[in-house]
């Protein structure tokens, strides 16, 4: 007969073995012009589904004077999930934290750039190289080209203009442009996303960037009348970056398409492959599919 202490020890050892077999995801939050307190727990739940990821948090202090203490263990994880933006609220990282982030990604730690992280750190050149494209926070033609999809290829516009805009939230279709990419393989080539902000006119260095999927920015909803990048990847040294502009709030995150794609994107960023099977329940080209969170 096993006593309680020994049994608890066995359970802890088993849990540790399981944890070592999972990928480590680090969600970085604490500052955002969006409600990170609502979205970070949902990101954890989405990534934890299926047992692929073990999720930890690095939450920045609420007081700028204490930012020098913010030093996440970037290099100890497989993928960094950025639910962070200093846009309009302070919270710039200290130089040692920036350098540690750059080194980690350069050496092969993956990154997921989630929604409002597109607007972070406009004056930090290497962050903008890592994220590929961004908007708001004073970005304009000096930040890099504006990318959009036209006639089966990417257009890089350099006209003077501000970067970053969205109209009122609405449902819209996501169209795969690289359907064989591991993140999208086996998924419908067109699927309806739940009501959300549709980002447009993003600009940036756009180096080693591949657009995976776009959405039509409908002028009816104050859009550009162009196909705007929604999902794209960036290579930075040995690091793989998945940038997803979707997921404004918990309601938008209920979209099963969003959940599947960000989980697949995180696995690809961490490992360079996707082992997750295509889901049986997924949006169609005419119908949004919501999943509880």
Let me know: does 263 contact 52? Beta carbons within 8 Å: yes
Running along the chain, 293 residues long, what does each successive block of 10 average in pLDDT? Answer: 39 40 95 96 97 97 92 98 93 96 98 98 98 98 98 97 98 98 98 98 98 98 98 98 98 98 98 94 97 89
Domain of 178, CATH number, reads 3.40.50.880
Let me know: does 87 contact 33? Beta carbons within 8 Å: yes
Q: Which domain holds residue 116?
A: 23-271
For residue 90, what pLDDT is reported?
87
Is residue 279 in a domain? no
Structure tokens at 241: 């970056």
Please give the tally of structural domains in the chain: 1
For residue 20, what pLDDT is reported?
53
Q: How many CB atoms lie within 10 A of CB 41?
A: 16
Is residue 27 in a domain? yes
Is residue 43 in a domain? yes
Is residue 11 in a domain? no
Mean pLDDT over all residues of the chain?
Answer: 93
For residue 219, what pLDDT is reported?
98
For residue 62, what pLDDT is reported?
92
Is residue 71 in a domain? yes
Is residue 287 in a domain? no
Is residue 61 in a domain? yes
Is residue 3 in a domain? no
Tell me: the pLDDT tens digits for 69-123?
999 999 999 999 999 999 988 899 999 999 999 999 999 999 999 999 999 999 9
């Amino acid at each position: 007969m096993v006593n309680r202490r020994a049994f608890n020890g066995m359970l802890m050892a088993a849990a540790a073995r399981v944890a070592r077999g999972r990928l480590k995801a680090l969600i970085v939050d604490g500052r955002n012009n969006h409600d990170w307190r609502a979205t970070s727990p949902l990101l954890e739940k989405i990534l934890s589904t299926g047992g692929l990821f073990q999720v930890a948090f690095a939450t920045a202090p609420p007081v700028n004077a204490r930012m020098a203490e913010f030093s996440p263990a970037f290099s100890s994880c497989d993928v960094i999930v950025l639910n962070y933006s200093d846009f309009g609220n302070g919270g710039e990282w200290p130089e040692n934290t920036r350098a540690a982030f750059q080194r980690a990604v350069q050496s092969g730690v993956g990154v997921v750039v989630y929604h409002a992280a597109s607007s972070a750190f406009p004056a930090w050149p290497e962050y903008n190289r890592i994220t590929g494209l961004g908007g708001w926070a004073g970005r304009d033609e000096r930040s890099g080209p504006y990318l959009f999809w036209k006639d089966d290829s990417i257009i890089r516009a350099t006209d003077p203009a501000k970067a970053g805009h969205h109209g009122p939230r609405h449902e819209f279709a996501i169209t795969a442009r690289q359907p064989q990419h591991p993140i999208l393989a086996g998924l419908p080539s067109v699927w309806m996303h739940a009501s959300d902000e549709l980002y447009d006119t993003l600009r940036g260095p756009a180096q080693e960037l591949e657009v995976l999927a776009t959405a039509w920015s409908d002028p009816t909803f104050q859009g550009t009348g162009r196909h705007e990048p929604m999902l794209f990847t960036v290579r930075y040294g040995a690091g793989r970056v998945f940038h997803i502009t979707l997921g404004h709030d918990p309601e938008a995150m209920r979209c099963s398409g969003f959940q599947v794609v960000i989980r697949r994107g995180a696995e690809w960023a961490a490992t360079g492959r996707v082992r997750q099977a295509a889901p049986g329940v997924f949006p169609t080209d005419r119908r949004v599919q919501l999943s509880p969170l």
